[in-house]
Amino acid sequence: MPLDPVLKDIIRGSPPAPADLDSISPQELRRASDERMLSVYGGMREEVGSVADVAVRGRDGEIHARLYRPRSIERPPLVVYYHGGGFVYYSVETHDNICRRLSTLSGAAVMSVDYRLAPEHKFPAAVHDAYDAVAWAGEAAEELGVDPDAIAVAGDSAGGNLAASVSLMARDAGRSDLIGAQVLIYPVLNMIDMSPSRFEFGEGYMLEERMDRWFVGQYLADPRDATNPYASPLLAGDLRGLPPALVVTAEYDPLRDQGEIYAHRLRAAGVPATATRYLGMTHGFLRFYPRLRAGRDAIAQIAGYLGATLRGSGPGAP
């Protein structure tokens, strides 16, 4: 399918990444990227039941998170959400509108996590924060007013990596009961990916290969960490015993193939997994949902999947 014309206009109007990525500091890029995102969508505030900032207890200190609760639902399911941004930028603030809409449509509370960012905090700091957040949520379910037996993880791009990684980590720690579902939105799952989509769509389609390589360099302290399953979940030898999964991919995304391969491997390991490819879309399309029908459709699909799976019915239910 051709690239969506609205998305084509968005790409045309987006400033390109610096020609020389070494000419700008990660902190400067973070500030510019966050400001651009907030200037476009930061004024949107979809109504939810309530919003509260919470302090999560992590192994390395306090982690900031934001809890969105739906209206008139007692002890709702909980979705622990990890924002994208290449492990380098974006935040709870930049993904506020997505989390609000997801809570409203799913009937679940959403806890958005401000995990530590690279390069100040290298792998596995973000994974530790992501895991500690969902583990803490399970322990603090009564305090949060959510159902401790209905917790999912979700994330986009780098956040999808974290959602997959903490699902592996929970299983490996003997806590398979902790996470009831995982939603991976155009996730990065292989730091040494050589699949066809990486090269076919590595330039001119929102996420460029050189930018992707730069993100990996910022995130990993040692290139050998790229083969660690908690950095590259697709490289895990055994995917049995993981939570049911929804994997959302985009037709023109260099990360498309690794997401779809992961869904296939999950199914081969006996894990219920659904993969949906959004045609005419690029990496990051969800954040443009106010202008993109496909973005609104994807959020609705994700919300429906989470609602059905966490309540024990529907196509994603175990």
Rounded distance, CA 51 to CA 150, Å? 20
Confirm if 180 and 242 have CB atoms less than 8 A apart.
no
Single out the catalytic residue among 106, 157, 165, 167: 157
Instruction: For residue range 239-290, list pLDDT tens digits in order.
Output: 999 999 999 999 999 999 999 999 999 999 999 999 999 999 999 999 999 9
List strands edge to edge, sheet with 181-185. Answer: 50-58, 61-69, 109-113, 78-82, 151-156, 181-185, 245-250, 273-278
Concerning whether 253 is annotated as a catalytic residue, the answer is yes
Q: How confident is the model at residue 314 (pLDDT cuts 50, 70, 90)?
A: very low
Confirm if 152 and 170 have CB atoms less than 8 A apart.
no
Where are the chain's structural domains?
5-310
Give the architecture-level CATH label for domain 5-310: 3-Layer(aba) Sandwich (3.40)
Concerning whether 64 is annotated as a catalytic residue, the answer is no
Instruction: For residue range 203-251, list pLDDT tens digits in order.
Output: 999 999 999 999 999 999 999 999 999 999 999 999 999 999 999 999 9
Concerning whether 157 is annotated as a catalytic residue, the answer is yes
Beta pairing, strands 181-185 & 151-156: parallel
Instruction: For residue range 53-111, list pLDDT tens digits in order.
Output: 999 999 999 999 999 999 988 999 999 999 999 999 999 999 999 999 999 999 999 99
According to DSSP, the residues that pair with 80 across neighbouring strands are 111, 153
Rounded distance, CA 83 to CA 91, Å? 6
pTM of the prediction?
0.95
Single out the catalytic residue among 147, 212, 253, 257: 253
Q: How confident is the model at residue 43 (pLDDT cuts 50, 70, 90)?
A: low
According to DSSP, the residues that pair with 151 across neighbouring strands are 78
